[in-house]
């Protein structure tokens, strides 16, 4: 007999797990999240929220809250290369880390460590009703055709390691690269493997006099004693910094005592007698691999549990957040009975190819530090394409096969608007106010119709539809240039329409108005949502 039940059990309370809880709560569910550590980690780890992640935060009304917690040097955006903080400069490059909107989206990067981002996710998830339990460990689980039974252990002081069982309809593994859930399921992984290890040393020191007014977000230091990345963390303490040095093969942070860490910090600063107080140190593996499967029955993998990539480019944590976003609306519709269980098959069909592509791009950027061979350089894609150019092919997309070249991405600055691609950025007018399309997405499907597509409105209001569809006729309030942009970027006629999924990807389009739009829309949704034909 189980002690409690939940629709979704999330294992892992780091960035991806917290994002998963938040997105599920946004969908009206009340997930249960368990994390064995008592609190959010104080280490920054991932250092930036990408424009796509920030697009998702904007839709939740969290953009200002995230930006309010940015790292103190975030507004500089560029990167310094030097022998040490006080040593000779070896170069400087303008990083992509800017807030500015582009033709692709309405927001840009936010330079924020996980230690500052995760509390924002946690607070909103709890506000929306998610049940988040830290100092709680899942010690075992078993699944059957109807759900998962998990054993949880309370690790809080005084709890006596008390255990109880929870019955969940689905389990999401967001337990990181060590991935105990994936290993218990016997799911293997493939890829280039391990490149090395890196350590994070969080420390306190007055480095401002040695910065000497130079503007940079990160400083890459290289000398005969240390090679790593130096950045200011800020917070309540203006002297709080992090150094991420590369470690020799086989080494871990356990081999580095306090004085060893102090020596590395002094070498990075180039100040032999610098007063330094070490707060903490940890190490992690630089690797590149993808899980062989993203699902086993009622258990689904997300984030580093499913894919690991080098840190260069800032893709890893952001990829995990987008895994969670892709999965949340699908789980919600299945659990609410509006979609068939087959909709969840599209999660792996869509996200696994994206993981393969993005891991490859992370490896290329990592290898750029030591020079690339021509074959690797030829695979390099612009950052905007890596972040926004994914092409999904799954049962949740009604593809136009005659226009599919099989490429994993397309250039989002020249979008096709075809099914499987992210809906091109478009300013819409709602209640007299201009709002970017992606700010409006989250729970429902949207049908965007051309200026002569009034007949689609009653189709969206039909009781025969399996789920809610919000209707918007482009041109009802938008100026002529927006209408022209919509017709060109989405490649539809004046009576045509585009169905956009809750995650912002195009599910289907028709260039002209069909004879029976309500029936056409109903049949399309049944196919996308893996429902039996009616």
> What are the C-alpha distances in Å from 505 to residues 339, 442, 449?
17, 11, 16
Tokens 């946690």 -> residue: 122
Residue 2 has pLDDT above 80, yes or no: no
- If 0-12 CB within 10 Å is exposed, 13-18 middle and 19+ buried, where does residue 236 land? exposed
Fill in the DSSP letter of residue 488: H
Q: Which residues pair with 79 in a beta bridge?
A: 93, 218
The per-residue pLDDT for range 503-533, each reduced to its tens digit, is 999 999 999 999 999 999 999 999 999 998 7
Residue 77 has pLDDT above 70, yes or no: no
The per-residue pLDDT for range 418-444, each reduced to its tens digit, is 999 999 999 999 999 999 999 999 899
Most confident residue range from 59-73, 299-313, 490-504: 490-504
Q: Give the residue from 449, 264, 318 showing the smallest Cα distance to 54.
A: 318
pLDDT of residue 101: 76
Residue 75 has pLDDT above 70, yes or no: no
Mean per-residue pLDDT for 309-335?
A: 94
Domains and CATH numbers, the chain: 4-66+109-188+292-363 (3.50.50.60), 423-528 (3.40.30.120)
pLDDT of residue 237: 60
Q: 3-state DSSP call for residue 170?
A: strand
Band of pLDDT at residue 59, cut at 50, 70 and 90: very high
Q: Which residues pair with 300 in a beta bridge?
A: 172, 295
Residue 329 has pLDDT above 80, yes or no: yes
pLDDT of residue 439: 96
User: What count of other Cβ atoms lies within 10 Å of the Cβ of residue 296?
Assistant: 17
Band of pLDDT at residue 78, cut at 50, 70 and 90: confident
Q: The dihedral of CA 80, 83, 84, 89: what is its sign? A: negative
The per-residue pLDDT for range 455-511, each reduced to its tens digit, is 999 999 998 899 999 999 999 999 999 999 999 999 999 999 999 999 999 999 999
Q: Which residues pair with 498 in a beta bridge?
A: 448, 509
Residue 394 has pLDDT above 80, yes or no: yes
pLDDT of residue 158: 84
pLDDT of residue 499: 98
Percent of all residues in the chain with a pLDDT value above 90, rounded to a whole number: 71
Contacts of 257 (CB under 8 A, 6+ apart): none
Band of pLDDT at residue 347, cut at 50, 70 and 90: very high
Mean per-residue pLDDT for 270-290?
A: 92
The per-residue pLDDT for range 141-187, each reduced to its tens digit, is 999 999 999 999 999 988 887 899 999 999 999 998 877 899 999 99
**Considering the chain, what is the average pLDDT of its residues?**
91
pLDDT of residue 252: 64
Whether the CB-CB separation of 55 and 107 falls below 8 Å is answered with: yes
pLDDT of residue 232: 84
> Structure tokens of 443?
């729970």
Mean per-residue pLDDT for 361-367?
A: 89
pLDDT of residue 235: 60
Range in 270-284, 374-388, 450-464, 501-515 with the lowest mean pLDDT: 374-388
Residue 255 has pLDDT above 80, yes or no: no
Q: Which residues pair with 33 in a beta bridge?
A: 10, 132
Tokens 């007018």 -> residue: 429
CA atoms within 13 A on the CB side of 230: 29
């Amino acid at each position: 007999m189980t002690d409690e039940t939940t629709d979704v059990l999330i294992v892992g309370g780091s960035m991806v797990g917290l994002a998963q809880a938040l997105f599920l709560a946004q969908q009206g569910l009340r997930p249960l999240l368990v994390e064995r550590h008592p609190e959010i980690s104080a280490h920054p780890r991932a250092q930036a929220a990408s424009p796509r992640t920030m697009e998702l935060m904007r839709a939740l009304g969290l953009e200002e809250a995230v930006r309010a917690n940015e790292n103190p040097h975030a507004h500089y955006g560029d990167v310094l290369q030097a022998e040490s903080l006080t040593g000779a400069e070896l170069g400087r490059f303008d990083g992509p880390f800017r807030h500015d909107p582009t033709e692709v989206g309405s927001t840009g990067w936010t330079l924020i460590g996980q230690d500052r981002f995760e509390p924002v996710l946690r607070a909103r998830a709890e506000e929306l009703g998610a049940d988040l339990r830290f100092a709680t460990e899942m010690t075992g689980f078993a699944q059957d055709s109807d759900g998962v039974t998990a054993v949880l252990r309370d690790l809080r002081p005084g709890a006596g390691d008390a255990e109880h069982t929870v019955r969940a309809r689905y389990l999401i593994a967001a337990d990181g690269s060590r991935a105990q859930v994936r290993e218990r399921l016997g799911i293997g992984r493939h890829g280039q493997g391990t490149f090395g290890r890196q350590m994070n040393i969080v420390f306190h020191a007055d480095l401002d006099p040695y910065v000497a007014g130079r503007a940079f977000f990160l400083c890459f230091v290289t000398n005969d004693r240390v090679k790593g990345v130096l950045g200011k963390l800020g917070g309540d303490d203006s002297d709080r910094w992090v150094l991420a040095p590369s470690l020799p093969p086989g080494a871990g942070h356990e081999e580095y005592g306090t004085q060893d860490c102090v020596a590395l910090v002094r070498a990075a600063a180039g100040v032999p007698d610098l007063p330094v107080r070490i707060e903490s140190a940890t190490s992690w593996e630089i690797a590149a691999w993808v899980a062989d499967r993203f699902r086993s029955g009622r258990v689904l993998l997300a984030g580093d549990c499913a894919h690991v990539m080098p840190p260069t480019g800032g893709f890893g944590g952001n990829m995990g957040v987008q895994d969670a976003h892709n999965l949340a609306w699908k789980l919600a519709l299945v659990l609410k009975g509006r979609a068939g269980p087959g909709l969840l098959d599209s999660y792996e069909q869509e996200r696994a190819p994206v993981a393969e592509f993005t891991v490859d791009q992370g490896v290329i950027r990592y290898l750029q530090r030591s020079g690339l061979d021509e074959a690797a350089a030829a695979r390099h894609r612009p950052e905007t394409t890596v972040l926004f150019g994914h092409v999904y092919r799954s049962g949740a997309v009604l593809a136009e096969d005659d226009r599919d070249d099989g490429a994993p991405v397309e250039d989002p600055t020249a979008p096709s608007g075809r099914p499987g691609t992210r809906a091109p950025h478009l300013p819409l007018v709602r209640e007299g106010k201009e709002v970017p399309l992606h700010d409006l997405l989250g729970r429902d499907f949207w049908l965007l119709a051309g200026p002569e597509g009034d007949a689609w409105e009653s189709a969206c209001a039909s009781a025969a539809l399996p789920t809610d569809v919000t209707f918007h006729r482009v041109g009802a309030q938008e100026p002529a240039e927006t209408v022209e942009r919509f017709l060109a970027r989405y490649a539809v006629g004046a009576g045509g329409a585009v169905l956009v999924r809750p995650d912002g990807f195009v599910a289907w389009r028709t260039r002209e108005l069909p004879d029976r739009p309500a029936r056409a829309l109903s049949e399309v949704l049944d196919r996308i949502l893996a429902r039996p034909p009616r």
